[in-house]
Amino acid sequence: MEFYASCPEGFESALADELKRLGLSHVRRLKGRATFEGELEEGYRACLWSRLASRVFAVLGRFEAQDADELYDSVYDITWETIIRPGATIAITARGVTEQLRNTRFSSLRAKDALCDRLAETTGRRADVDVADPDVHLLLSLRQRRASISLDLSGDPLFKRLPPAATRAGEGTHVLRPDYAALVLSQVGWTMLCERELTADDYENEALPTLIDASCAGGGLLLEAVNILTDRAPGAARERWGFEGWQLHDAALWEQLLTEAREREAAARERQARIVAVDVDPAARKTAERMVKCAGYKRFVDFCAAKSATVLDHAGAVAGAAVIADTTETPLSLMHDAMTLVGELRRAPELAAAPVAALTRDGLLARALHAEPERSIAVMPNNEEATVEVWPSLDHAAAAFEAATSADAEGETAGADDVISDEAPAMPEPAAMLDLGDGKPLPVLIPESEQFANRLRKNARLRRKWAKREGVSCYRVYDADLPDYSAAIDLYEGCPQTPGRWLVIAEYAAPKTIDPALAQARMLDILAIAPRILDVPAEHVHAKARMRSRGGSQYGKQGAGKGGSGEGANIARRRLPLIEEGGLTFAVNFDDYLDAGIFLDHRVTRNLVREHAKQARRFLNLFAYTGTATCYAADGGVEETVTVDLSNTYLDWAERNMRQNGFVGPQHHFVRDDVLAWIRDQRQTRNRWDLIFVDPPTFSNSSKMGRRTWDVQRDHVELLAGVSRLLAQGGHAIFSCNLRGFRPETRKLARAGVVLEDITAQTIPEDFARNQKVHHCYIVRRLPIEDAMAEVGFSAEEIAERTEELRNPEARKPRAAAPAPTQAGNGKSNFAGKPSPAGKSKKKKFYASKPKGK
């Protein structure tokens, strides 16, 4: 009987080895699978014991299938009445194509018709189809002119075997899939360590096989390691199998194999071994502890602090050991600590005989260990590229080094310079160490990182003095001062209600000419050095990635962080750190978004808003983000504020900031709308404002905007022309944008009666002085069109022509129609009716004077 076990790409060699250890014969490795031959028992054994296979199939037939008719005839010729149990439901999945059979859905339907017709002819009853949950699942494989059809013996994928209690405990957390965990453990030799027979001396000295999980992440590696230690068959707990609808299924034989598996597990309960688990991320360690406990495996795993000395103390005397790690989910801010820990463990004399295996995404562990892995396996967990890397023990590396050196010495025919061959592998060397002046040398991945440490130390000293003098508690400490260390480092100090210090380290995207691994290594050194010099706890360091120029909204999400759930997060109720600026208090969120909720480079701009607000009565904040400018305007004494943004999350955040500073009441309105559409609506009303603040994103393609997108360079003329029409007599706007190469269309704006005064230089704070293009800032005023055009250099003839156009609309040149204004979700304008009462939600509606003519 012919079988094959399917597997993820990269598993093929390890799967073939596993099947051979199970005693299966004629094992052959192919792409995405391993084939074997045997009786029914061999198929059952693969289902019950394989940790690496995704599914196990029994091949029912191979045949020619050049076209639909030949496919039908070949499938019909199979004796389905002897294969499928009467009454069993079926489903057929097709994969692959031939020259004429190019639609897999059609191919599967054609095969299904043949099967059902055969059963109807031979048994008088067609099989029922259940695509979602069939009793018999068949796989039709097509390639060139050939086809095969196989029965899925597994049912659900074999990797779906996590204990239900552990799955519930890890809900919301990434847990490494059991088959990927098994691959890492197989490469490090954990199975052989567990099967090793201990001598009496071993027991007397308590020298036990030991597994050290140096980065236990969500606990996936630990759960599989315990299953291997206790010799628990991975399929033993499964209640339903794909072979149960197969007429060849032998229930007695299957029960015999299950009994054998239970006996093996019972015998393995006396196995002595240690599993020590740590993680540099406290949250990840707590999740792993919870999962291990809920799975009933607590007695097998010893959790301890993520320090090499502590780990070695918990490991005790070692008869055989292995070190594993899964760094795929380690936060970037903690990656350096994770790699340092693995490096220290590998170099520990007590673990000289211990190999190391790690699942990693970046390949940087080799740099931390100062040794290339002995082998690497490219894999795709969660459809993301990763690598299983394996390093031999230091004893093994030393033996290989000695053998290479001896062989070279025996063949010596020249001088002493030729004693060591260039081909001999280098022994791992200690990592480069930095002295940061605190008595704790810091290992780094790149020796040149000392230059960064020196620059950051100097910057920190100067910034600290400046911040104290200016009364600033949140500021930029470093901004790509050294081109090779291209990152921005912002320091935040909490206010008395939430004391603490936080770092946000944003890596600028490296040019394509830079080796990504080198750029990543530099970033990890930055993440290790910065908190030490700036005295910030490692758990308060937040790493981000940002672009230097344009692309994406400036409010872009960073992805779900430790405490966040993105757009749906209830900002109003979450406990967030509070910081102070300009005598006001603001909530910041370091986890969920690229920016924390306040743009530090706008510190001076916000103060400018407050100063201008002292002469204003009504204030409007467009693209309001978290409403910090609204708080400053309210603090400046305006009587009424309107805060407009397209995001409910940011409006909640803005309202929270206002409430935090005591600005509550019906005079403060919060409007969710597309800003350009909202401006068009307001131009039809008598609503006008004395001071308007406009800080749009560089780019946005939010689905809430419908089919249109936003580009500040392309759309700023339309925006500012509309804003100017909402200004009260004598009023003005402050316009800011973050596009580095922004160039205002002053002549187009002047034709609309809008003039700009560039105040960028006076709004750049000292801590951003290195980057004079961090933002652009302008005062926006509306003038008579003739005056505006004259101010920007139009000739008298051009002014006269424009004046004539306005007097005689028929003389205007035809222009493309403006896009239809978007509307709120109910299809009506956001403005109508009477003022909103105090204490009720004001996000959906903001009422003021009635539209003109009403």
* Residues linked to residue 208 through DSSP beta bridges, in sequence order: 318
The pLDDT value recorded for residue 821 is 40
Task: Of 191-200, 362-371, 798-807, give the lowest mean pLDDT range.
Answer: 191-200
Is residue 638's pLDDT more than 80?
yes
Backbone angles phi, psi at 186, to 5 degrees: -70, -35
* 3-class SS string, 605-669: HHHHHHHHHCCCCEEEEECCCCCHHHHHHHHHCCCEEEEEECCHHHHHHHHHHHHHCCCCCCCEE
Banded pLDDT at 335 (limits 50, 70, 90): confident
Mean pLDDT rounded to a whole number for the chain: 87
The pLDDT value recorded for residue 691 is 98
Over residues 650-671, the pLDDT tens digits come to: 999 999 999 999 999 999 999 9
Banded pLDDT at 273 (limits 50, 70, 90): confident
Q: Which residue has the higher pLDDT, 417 or 593?
A: 593
* Residues linked to residue 140 through DSSP beta bridges, in sequence order: 94, 149
Structural class in CATH, domain 2-152: alpha beta
Is residue 44's pLDDT more than 70?
yes
Over residues 418-462, the pLDDT tens digits come to: 433 333 344 344 457 898 888 888 888 899 999 999 999 999 999
Q: What is the mean pLDDT of residues 467-487?
A: 96
Q: Which residue has the higher pLDDT, 517 or 136?
A: 136
% of the chain beyond a pLDDT of 70: 85
Residue 831 to residue 848: CA distance in whole angstroms: 7
The pLDDT value recorded for residue 53 is 98
Q: What residues contact residue 515 under an 8 Å CB cut-off, 6+ apart?
A: none
Task: Of 381-385, 543-547, 733-737, 754-758, give the lowest mean pLDDT range.
Answer: 543-547
Is residue 379's pLDDT more than 70?
yes
Is residue 48's pLDDT more than 60?
yes
Burial of 223 (0-12, 13-18, 19+ CB in 10 A): buried
Is residue 28's pLDDT more than 50?
yes
Is residue 819's pLDDT more than 60?
no
Most confident of 46-60, 170-184, 590-604: 46-60
The pLDDT value recorded for residue 100 is 94
The pLDDT value recorded for residue 166 is 87
pTM of the predicted model as reported, rounded to 2 decimal places: 0.74
- Take residue 305 and report the two structure tokens written for it: 């602090």
Q: Which residue has the higher pLDDT, 821 or 694?
A: 694
% of the chain beyond a pLDDT of 90: 69
Query: Would you say 12 and 378 are in contact if contact means Cβ atoms under 8 Å apart?
Result: no
State the DSSP H helix or E strand holding residue 508, giving kind and residue range, or none if neither.
Answer: strand 501-508
Is residue 729's pLDDT more than 70?
yes
Superfamily (CATH) of domain 433-524+539-548: RNA methyltransferase domain (HRMD) like (3.30.750.80)
Residue 275 to residue 702: CA distance in whole angstroms: 48
The pLDDT value recorded for residue 239 is 93
Residue 460: C-alpha distances to residues 455, 662, 767 (Å): 9, 34, 11
Backbone angles phi, psi at 390, to 5 degrees: -125, 130
Q: Where are the domains of the chain?
A: 2-152, 164-230+271-397, 433-524+539-548, 595-809
Q: What is the mean pLDDT of residues 574-580?
A: 92
Is residue 319's pLDDT more than 50?
yes
Domains 164-230+271-397 and 595-809 share a fold: yes
Over residues 522-575, the pLDDT tens digits come to: 999 999 999 999 999 988 999 887 544 333 334 445 543 333 334 444 666 678
Over residues 224-257, the pLDDT tens digits come to: 999 999 999 999 999 999 999 999 999 999 999 9
The pLDDT value recorded for residue 174 is 85
Is residue 409's pLDDT more than 70?
no
Q: Which residue has the higher pLDDT, 811 or 79?
A: 79
Query: Would you say 33 and 218 are in contact if contact means Cβ atoms under 8 Å apart?
Result: no
Residue 514 to residue 803: CA distance in whole angstroms: 55
Is residue 844's pLDDT more than 50?
no
| Residue among 667, 629, 624, 631 at smallest CA distance from 649 | 624
Banded pLDDT at 340 (limits 50, 70, 90): confident
The pLDDT value recorded for residue 404 is 56
Is residue 742's pLDDT more than 70?
yes
Superfamily (CATH) of domain 595-809: Vaccinia Virus protein VP39 (3.40.50.150)
The pLDDT value recorded for residue 555 is 46
| Residue among 294, 245, 285 at smallest CA distance from 89 | 245
The pLDDT value recorded for residue 564 is 35
Banded pLDDT at 769 (limits 50, 70, 90): very high
The pLDDT value recorded for residue 372 is 86
Residue 171 to residue 158: CA distance in whole angstroms: 20
Task: Of 76-80, 159-163, 841-845, give the lowest mean pLDDT range.
Answer: 841-845
Is residue 358's pLDDT more than 90?
yes
CATH number of the structural domain 164-230+271-397: 3.40.50.150
- Coil, helix or strand at residue 290: helix
